[in-house]
Amino acid sequence: MNPLAMKGRTILVTGASSGIGRETAILLSELEANVVIAGRNRERLEQTRDRMQGSTHRIEAFDLNEAAAIPGWIKKIAHDTGPLSGLVHCAGIHKAVPLRVISPPGIEDVMRANVTSAIMLVSGFRQKGCSLRGGSVVLVSSVAGLAGQPAIGTYSASKAALIGFAKSAAMELAPDGLRVNCVAPGFVQTEMAGEFRGKLTAEQYDAIARMHPLGLGHPLDIAQAIAFLLADTGRWITGTTLIVDGGYTAR
């Protein structure tokens, strides 16, 4: 018996067009879940679906920046698929902006993409008929929300906000039998990380790599931690943050 098996469960994964979100969707399909994969680009979502096992998965092209529409969107999904057993929020943006050039619009962009969307997704998930008792929410935070680095103050603030929100939401939703947790990855080799790497010198990138005693991570490392929190293996875990960082925060 596989303790991570999720046969018959329907799980919504945002940011499923690349990186951690894509790898999570693929892994959940291998664990026999029915996966609703969401992102802005339908073509890239179709590429994700082509790599998934099974034929019961659903594509949802949706822009999470339309925050007010999120609860209604989730209600529609649940109407079509039945109540959800899980929600994984992988979508987000990363911006490296020094304080000397930071601007309110830039701050608002990051907060809307990384925090507002998460809050509205959880609000939608908890609606009557949208989730099953025993359901699990996993929000992808970051070690940047736990340890400081120059020039990523807004990003760090947004990821720290997810950790605080998860604790509060976990307490509020526990009576409904819903769990809310975060994972906090270190530097994972994704497309978004590749864009960030392009802004660094070779010396700066090597310095980041050395901060991870076990080396840099891969999307599957994070997907496996997410699956653990979604499955029955995580049934007694809520309001916590699972750090998956190759030893970054152990320094």
In tens, the pLDDT along 207-237 reads 888 999 999 999 999 999 999 999 999 999 9
Q: Is 75 a member of any domain?
A: yes
Per-residue model confidence (pLDDT) at position 33: 98
Do 42 and 16 contact (CB within 8 A), yes or no?
A: no
Residue 2 falls inside a structural domain: no
Residue 251 lies in a domain: no
Domain count, the chain: 1
The partner residues of 108 in beta bridges, in order of sequence, read none
CATH of the domain at 93: 3.40.50.720
Do the domain assignments include residue 155?
yes
CB 31 within 8 A of CB 231: yes
The answer to whether residue 132 is domain-embedded is yes
Do the domain assignments include residue 5?
A: no
Helix H or strand E segment including 133: strand 131-140
Q: Dump pLDDT digits (tens) for 124-164.
A: 999 999 999 999 999 999 999 999 888 899 999 999 999 99
Positions annotated as catalytic residues are 155
- 226, 244 contact by CB (below 8 A): no
Residue 250 lies in a domain: no
Check whether 98 has a pLDDT greater than 80. Answer: yes
In the beta sheet, which residues pair with residue 37?
13, 59
Q: Looking at the domain assignment, is residue 3 inside a domain? A: no
Q: What is the pLDDT of residues 116-125, one digit of tens each?
A: 999 999 999 9
CB-based contact 114:63 (threshold 8 Å) = no
Q: By residue range, what is the domain housing residue 225?
A: 10-245
